[in-house]
A and B are shown apart, each in its own frame.
Chain A
Amino acid sequence: MEPLLVYPYPVAADLSQALERAGYRYIGVTDEVDAERKEPDDGWGGAIIMADRSPEEAYKLAVALRKRDYPLEPLLMVLRSEQLNTLELNRDLFDDFVVSPLNHRELEMRLRHQYWRLGRGTRPELVEYGDLVLNLETYQAAIARRPLDLTYMEYELLKFLAQHPGKVFTREALLNRVWGYEYYGGARTVDVHVRRLRAKLGEEHANLIQTVRSVGYRFGQSRWSG
Chain B
Amino acid sequence: MMTMMRQQQYVLRTVEERAVRLIRLWFTDVNGQLKSFAITPAELETAFTEGMHFDGSSIDGFSRVQECDVLARPDASTFELLPFGPEAEHSARMFCDIENVEGTPFAGDPRYVLKRNLARARQLGFTFMVAPEMEFFYFAEGDPTKPLKPLDSGSYFDLTLADVASDLRRRTIGMLEAMSIPVEYSFHEDSPSQHEIDLRYTDALEMADTVMTFRLLVREIALERGVYATFMPKPLAGVQGSGMHTHMSLFHGDTNVFHDVETGGLSQPARQFIAGLLVHAREICAVTNQLVNSYKRLAPGSEAPPYVTWAHNNRSALIRVPVTKKDKPSSTRIEYRAPDPACNPYLAFSVILAAGLRGITEGYELPEETIANLFELTPTDRAKAGIVPLPVNLSEALDEMERSALVHDALGDHIFEWFLRNKRAEFAEYRAQVTPYELSRYLPSW
Contact = CB atoms under 8 A, between A and B. Distances in A.
Interface of A: 138-140, 147, 149, 151-155, 170-172, 179-182, 184-189, 192, 195-196, 199-200
A171 B254 contact: yes
Given A152-B76, A184-B205, A188-B203, A199 B10 contact: no
Interface in B247-263: 251-254
B402 interface: no
A185 to B, nearest CB: 4
A128 to B, nearest CB: 18
Nearest to A138: B17
A154 B181 CA distance: 13
Interface in B173-204: 177-178, 180, 182, 200-204
A192 B202 contact: yes
Nearest to B178: A149
Contact of B251 (A139, A188, A196): A188
A189 B200 CA distance: 12
**A-B residue pairs, 4 tightest by C-beta:** A186-B127, A185-B203, A187-B254, A152-B10
Interface residues of B, number: 38
Contacts of B11: 152
Contact of B81 (A149, A180, A181, A196): A149
Given A139-B13, A184-B127, A185-B127, A151 B78 contact: yes
B7 interface: yes
Contacts of B7: 152
Contacts of B3: 179-181
B10 A186 contact: no
Given A185-B127, A196-B180, A200-B178, 13 more contacts: A140-B14, A140-B17, A152-B77, A154-B180, A184-B203, A184-B204, A184-B205, A185-B202, A186-B127, A192-B206, A195-B182, A196-B182, A200-B180
B253 A186 contact: yes
A207 to B, nearest CB: 16
Contacts of A139: 9-10, 13-14, 17
B180 A151 contact: yes
A179 B118 CA distance: 18
B118 A200 contact: no
A139 B77 CA distance: 14
Contacts of A140: 14, 17-18
Contacts of A189: 202-203
Contacts of A185: 127, 202-203, 205-206
Interface in B1-53: 3, 6-7, 9-11, 13-14, 17-18
A179 B204 CA distance: 18
B380 to A, nearest CB: 45
B14 A186 contact: no
B378 to A, nearest CB: 44
B27 to A, nearest CB: 18
Interface string B58-100: 0000000000000000001111110100000000000000000
Nearest to A179: B3
Contacts of A200: 177-178, 180
Contact of B80 (A138, A149, A188, A192): A149
7 contacts: A147-B18, A152-B7, A170-B254, A192-B206, A195-B182, A196-B182, A199-B177
Contacts of A179: 3
Interface string B116-138: 00100010000101000000000
B11 to A, nearest CB: 7
A184 B349 CA distance: 14
B76 to A, nearest CB: 6
Interface in B150-189: 177-178, 180, 182
A179 B115 CA distance: 18
A106 B12 CA distance: 35
Nearest to A192: B202
A178 to B, nearest CB: 10
A172 B253 contact: yes
B127 A195 contact: no
Interface string B282-313: 00000000000000000000000000000000
B416 to A, nearest CB: 23
A186 B373 CA distance: 38
A200 B178 CA distance: 6
